[in-house]
Each structure stands twice: as structure tokens, then as C-alpha cells.
Amino acid sequence: MADNHRAMIATLPLTELLDSADIQLGFQAPSGTAAIPRLLQPALMRRVHDPSVVSEIIEAAVKREQETSTMCGAVSLPHARSSKIDGFILALGVNAEGTIAGHHDPRLIFAFASPEGKREQHLHLLASLARLSQNPKLLDQIAAATTSDQVIDALRSAGA
């Protein structure tokens, strides 16, 4: 792959990866690991269409989260890599009161799956999402959104 093409993929805006159908407002789960399948399964099923691959990716994300939490303040970033997908699959759970029952943070959970062969882009996406946790104004705007379009507009306005 040419370097300029690789750089272009690495800087793909979040709004290009996040479909409004994969944003769940008012989302809440009993735990961080319980949130992963609830967020990722619908997004994966819309794109992968193979229940065994979907299960494999979800299990990998849950296992990874159990080993090391991906919570960055108001944002959590559970994720997995898979050789069985070609593109990035991103889902978002949002709740101003907290996405995990009984906890104020995280207010946003970005759950995603990355193609195994795109490690550099995977790390770039992780870094981009982690930077969101350092933007309280944007987090408040997303947490207060009442529609998926408002979430995408807030991300787009922030250049995310």
C-alpha cells in the first residue's frame, strides 16, 4: 500500500466510520463487558452476516476488556482485531447519566472491531477516540444529544 493511501486511511474521520444506526442513545449495561455484545452485535451483524465471526469478535473484545480495562475517564474503548473483517466497525453507546449501571462514567462507550492487517490504523483510531476523553465540551454535547444525527454533527464539528 502506498504511504499516502495508508495515511489517508489512518486519518479517516470517526464520522466516516460511525453509522447513525450504530449509535445507541440512553444506553446502559450492567457492566463494561456486558456492554460489548449489546453495542457490537447489531453493528457487526449489519456488515459481517456470519454469526460465528460476530461471536468470535465479541468474545475477543470481551476477553481483552477483562484483561485490561479500556476506560479513559468519561469514555470507554472496548475493541478487538480480526482477520475476518475488511473494514472498521464502530458502535457507540451514550448516556449522560453513565453507560454502566450505578456509575457516572463512562458516559460514552465506543466499541469497535478492526481488521487484523490494519494495525497502524487501529492504533490511530484508538488514539483519536482516547483524545475525545480530553474534550469535556464535546463529551457533554454528545451525552446531551437526543438524536444520532446530533452525535455525528458534534463529532464532525469537533473535527473527529
Strand partners, 110: 92
Which residues touch 140 (CB under 8 Å, ≥6 apart)? none
**For residue 80, what pLDDT is reported?**
96
Largest interatomic CA distance in the chain: 48
Helix, strand, or coil (residue 111): strand
Structural contact between residues 154 and 138, judged by C-beta atoms closer than 8 angstroms: yes
* DSSP 8-state class, residue 88: -
**For residue 49, what pLDDT is reported?**
87
Positions of the chain with pLDDT lower than 70, given as ranges: 1-12
**For residue 11, what pLDDT is reported?**
53
Element (H, E) at 75: strand 75-76
Which residues touch 44 (CB under 8 Å, ≥6 apart)? 53, 54, 57, 58, 89, 113
